[in-house]
Amino acid sequence: QVQLQESGPGLVKPSETLSLTCSVSGGSLNNYYWSWIRQPPGKGLEWIGYVYSSGSIGHSPSLKSRVAISLDTSKNQFTLNLSSVTTSDTALYFCARRGGFCTSSGCSGNWFFDLWGRGTLVTVSS
């Protein structure tokens, strides 16, 4: 059974870079798209971006200039770096898997999220 687990500092200072890691257990990163999604306290969900197992990436237009997502297939992990954070970046950060998998013929499923981590709370404060 594939499971996702987020990890990283719970407190980040304003203007610094938020760095989180998602560890994938019970399965491989290969042939799937992996995303980061966040939820400010008491609010709704916001998609941040994705990385594919080949290394290709995409981001939400609203966060694009501050987001870097990468993967380490040897560790079965992918990471999020969000630069120049402000208090507005305080949120519960989830990693998630896009529904469906990809082969040389294309990808099944679509951009819904069928597997999520439990989330990690990151607070931006001095």
Partner 1 sequence: EIVLTQSPGTLSLSPGEKATLSCRASQSVSSNFLAWYQQKLGQAPTLLIYDTSTRATGIPDRFSGSGSGTDFTLTISRLEPEDFAVYYCQQYESSVTFGGGTTVEI
Footprint of partner 1 (CB under 8 A): 43-47, 60-61, 94, 96, 99, 110-114, 116-119
- CB-based burial, 90-110: b 16+ in 10 Å, e otherwise: bbbbbbbbbbbebeeeebeee
Least Å distance, CB 5 to partner 1, is 11
Least Å distance, CB 45 to partner 1, is 4
Least Å distance, CB 81 to partner 1, is 20
> Beta 33-39 vs 102-103: how paired, if at all?
unpaired
Residue number with CB closer to partner 1 (51 or 117): 117
Least Å distance, CB 114 to partner 1, is 5
Q: What is the distance between the alpha carbons of residues 33 and 51, in angstroms, rounded to a whole number?
A: 6
Which residues fall within 8 angstroms of residue 19, CB to CB, at 6 or more apart?
A: 8, 9, 79, 80, 81
Residue number with CB closer to partner 1 (61 or 106): 61
Residue number with CB closer to partner 1 (44 or 104): 44
Residue number with CB closer to partner 1 (73 or 115): 115
Burial class (CB in 10 A: 0-12, 13-18, 19+), 62: exposed
